[in-house]
């Protein structure tokens, strides 16, 4: 059943302009997964006929079983959401029941304003049925989490107990044991590295002094200047005397 035309449209009127539309009311429970609750709502009372409504959500374009969209009988759109620049298009909205996918049909108008907003002009609904138009969105975006205050309890620790030798034995944990092992390993590693550096440095100094060469102007002093006269034995004295006699 088609209940007739809605929202007569002229070329000079743009429903996307501010002031030509209203925000879509009661959107938080219009999704297909939003179950029916005791406060049953109906667009017969929530929407105005021949009025453009704007929203960032797309109307559901698939069959929705009864008790969805927060009402007893949901309404879904049989058609595609128009593209940007396509202008105002006519679509058919279907009332869904358990027996039929489209028990009743309504004529609606839709326009895609931009990548975010879409406007809808929805047909007047019969007063005998409680029903709502469905929209696709994640219901969690409308849920608000309330912070609960919990009383914090102070942690209780076991008092230290004494061993046989009077040493306090504390309750050890796995974390403390691992920290102790890591610190011990790091300490040993540092000591070994320092010892290796000292040994290498001493060996380097020793080799450097052994093979060091003196520059021309930095020759070591003669032996006799450092240690005194060179000792000469009797044979050497006799040889020197013979040389002097020849000359």
| SS (HEC) of 122-168 | CCCCCCCCCEEECEECCHHHHCCCCCCCCCCCCCCCCCCEECCCCCE
Q: What's the token pair of residue 92?
A: 């058919």
Instruction: State the Cα angle at 194 between 190 and 198, rounded to 5°.
Output: 170
Percentage of the residues of the chain whose pLDDT score is greater than 90: 33
Count of Cβ atoms closer than 10 Å to residue 2 Cβ: 10
Give the per-residue pLDDT at 57.
95
Give the per-residue pLDDT at 168.
41
pLDDT tens digit string along 46-58? 888 889 999 999 9
- Given a contact cutoff of 8 angstroms between Cβ atoms, the answer to whether 93 and 123 are in contact is yes
* Beta-sheet strand order (sheet of 131-133): 22-23, 52-55, 118-121, 104-112, 89-95, 73-78, 131-133
Give the per-residue pLDDT at 225.
57
Give the per-residue pLDDT at 5.
52
Give the per-residue pLDDT at 243.
65
Half-sphere exposure of 72 toward its Cβ, with a 13 Å CA cutoff?
8
Per-residue pLDDT of the chain (247 residues; tens, 9 = 90+): 444 455 766 667 899 999 999 999 998 889 998 888 766 678 888 888 889 999 999 999 999 988 888 888 899 999 999 999 999 999 999 998 888 999 989 999 999 999 999 999 988 787 777 889 999 998 888 875 433 333 334 334 444 444 444 444 444 455 567 788 888 899 999 999 999 999 888 888 877 766 555 555 555 565 555 555 556 667 666 776 776 676 5
């Amino acid at each position: 059943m088609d209940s007739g035309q809605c929202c007569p449209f002229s070329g000079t009127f743009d429903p996307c302009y501010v002031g030509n539309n209203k925000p879509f009311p009661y959107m938080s429970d219009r999704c297909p997964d939003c179950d029916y609750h005791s406060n049953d709502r109906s667009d017969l009372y929530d929407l105005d006929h021949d009025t453009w409504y704007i929203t960032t959500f797309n109307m559901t374009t698939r069959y929705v079983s009864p008790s969805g969209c927060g009402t007893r009988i949901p309404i879904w759109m049989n058609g595609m959401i128009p593209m940007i620049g396509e202008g105002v298009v006519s679509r058919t909205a279907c009332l869904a029941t358990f027996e039929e996918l489209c028990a009743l049909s309504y004529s609606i108008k839709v326009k895609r304003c931009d990548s975010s907003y879409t406007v809808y002009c929805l047909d007047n609904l019969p007063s005998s049925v409680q029903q709502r138009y469905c929209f696709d969105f994640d219901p969690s975006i409308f849920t608000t989490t309330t912070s609960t205050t919990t009383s914090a309890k102070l942690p209780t620790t076991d008092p230290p107990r004494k061993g046989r030798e009077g040493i306090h034995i504390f309750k050890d944990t796995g974390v403390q044991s691992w920290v102790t092992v890591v610190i011990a390993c790091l300490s040993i590693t540092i000591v070994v590295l320092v010892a290796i550096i000292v040994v290498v440095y001493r060996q380097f100094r020793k080799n450097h002094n052994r093979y060091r060469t003196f520059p021309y102007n930095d020759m070591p002093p003669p032996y006799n200047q450092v240690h005194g006269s060179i000792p000469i034995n009797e044979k050497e004295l006799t040889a020197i005397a013979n040389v002097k006699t020849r000359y």
